[in-house]
Amino acid sequence: MTEPMTKELLHMLVSRWFYQDRGPKDWQKSRPTDHIVCGDLTRISVQAGSYSYCDPRENNADEYTEMEVALSQGYEGPLLKYADDLGICAYVPTEEIVKAINHHGGYRNSVFPGAKGFKLWN
């Protein structure tokens, strides 16, 4: 079952770990968020926070206008134009990420970054 990606859903997926069972100062720590799995099973990593290529470059912002994306090996799609040689896309407009996820069939689910099947470019 998939659903259309929206800016609000994307922000919630990227930000939700800030609210999960953490102490008062733990929200300042940064860790990768779960990978987004699209309807066609494309996986992308979308990150935002003080250690990511995003705007604003801070943890738990009310809204991110740009986010960092890591593409899996063999990715083909609209985000390629932002990728460097390692498949990292810096400061990608949020609207473009939403369009790309919908291009790949919408949002299916999220998986832990160590899940089998996601390999970044070499």
What percentage of residues in the chain have a pLDDT greater than 90? 36
Mean pLDDT of 20-34: 53
Q: Report the pLDDT value the prediction gives residue 30, as an integer from 0 to 100.
A: 52
Q: How far is CA 70 from CA 28, 54, 60, 62, in A?
A: 22, 12, 20, 22
Mean pLDDT of 71-93: 93
Read off the DSSP letter of residue 120.
B
The alpha carbons of the chain give a radius of gyration, in whole angstroms, of: 14
